[in-house]
Amino acid sequence: MADAQRLRIEGRVQGVGYRDWLTRRARAAGLRGWVRNRIDGSVEALLIGDTGPVEDVIAACRQGPRMAAVTAVQRNADQDDGSKDFRQKPTV
């Protein structure tokens, strides 16, 4: 059974390539799910996969890409939404 974790990443995380960075990182780790900007300035993601790779990507999210300044990563267990790969979704 796959681990599914919903993340809310706060700080300077929009306009710094965070979604592209997370998409590459998640795909390289073999994860499924998605990432999107939120209108409040945060980034939201759903990571689905084996627990080890999910935890590795969550740890990396606390740093983010070079131009990001992450101040908080909130996480909650979630459900596998059936995503076939890892993709970017529109802002909500």
- Write out pLDDT tens, residues 53-86: 999 999 999 999 999 999 999 999 999 999 999 9
Catalytic, 37? Answer: yes
Q: Above 70 in pLDDT, residue 38? A: yes
Catalytic, 38? Answer: no
Closest CA to 8 of 82, 58, 53: 58
pTM: 0.96
CB 78 within 8 A of CB 39: no
SS3 assignment, position 55: helix
Catalytic residue among 24, 27, 37, 66: 37
Q: What pLDDT is attached to residue 2?
A: 84
CB 11 within 8 A of CB 69: yes
Q: What pLDDT is attached to residue 1?
A: 64
* Boundaries of every domain in the chain: 3-79
- Output the average pLDDT for the chain: 97
Closest CA to 83 of 50, 46, 57: 46
Catalytic residue among 6, 12, 19, 32: 19
Q: Quote the CA–CA distance of 72 and 82 in Å, as a whole number.
A: 27
Q: Above 70 in pLDDT, residue 46? A: yes
Q: Read off φ and ψ for residue 26, nearest 5 degrees.
A: -65, -45
Q: Quote the CA–CA distance of 51 and 56 in Å, as a whole number.
A: 9
CATH architecture of 3-79: 2-Layer Sandwich (3.30)
Q: What pLDDT is attached to residue 80?
A: 96
